[in-house]
Structure 1
């Protein structure tokens, strides 16, 4: 199989607020918009895609028409400290996890979007010796 695209679709009751979160704070652009679906793309390279879907829309099987729960999106950036300042200190977002360095090789913090999706903003760092052996080549 040759993939031509792969992206998450967030099922939400808060399409407008969630669209604004990703466009205003993370640089995504709207490529399609209806009252029940928004397609977002962050120009690249590489380009990144994300979509938002009204969780009550009949395109979803009825048994699955619920808002998103338990989703964590990782966004890797060059300078997580600068993003902490921009998004939390100046931007007023409430951290769900404060900025910190992890032995497993990440400096990161977590915020939540209006739909309750956690957004983990990460800069990779050197892992501790205990974790370095667990990484594979590639």
Structure 2
């Protein structure tokens, strides 16, 4: 039986990446070494994330590469408030400006210090052509 699941970001910027998630995204450190930081965001549905030095020997040879192509979705109650907090007040540079999508999201994208895309999302009603594509678990 699966007891946990979380992404691990392989990076050459362990400290800066950990700081991003603790200071801006609400995570707390649960373990910290110079090569690995384990993070947890508590609440009713806790979330975990880890950051690992991409050259660490626990990663098999041939796979010790920095993260590329990773997109993490952060669903929030008020994406416009998060835009104000992260982009306007904190000065993060948007990779994708805030906008509403026909498929049922209002969102924007920024990047963390390791180049991971952070998609900040609030669900909105989808346009008619997408409404019947959502699956409900009855």
Q: Tell me, what secondary structure is at the counterpart of 1:44? A: coil
| TM-fit CA distance, 1:45 | 1.2
Distance in 2 of aligned mates of 1:111 and 1:68: 16
- Please tell me whether residue 104 in structure 1 is matched to residue 119 in structure 2: no
User: What are the ranges of 5 or more consecutive residues in structure 2 without an aligned counterpart?
Assistant: none
TM-score by length of 2: 0.98
1:43-82 alignment, distance < 5 Å: 43-82=42-81
Distance in 2 of aligned mates of 1:19 and 1:33: 9
* Structure 1 match to 2:124: 125
| TM-fit CA distance, 1:137 | 1.0
| TM-fit CA distance, 1:114 | 0.2
| TM-fit CA distance, 1:39 | 0.2
1:33-74 residue CA offsets vs partner (Å, 9 max, x unmatched): 011110000011110000000000000011100000000000
* Structure 2 match to 1:22: 21
* Structure 1 match to 2:115: 116
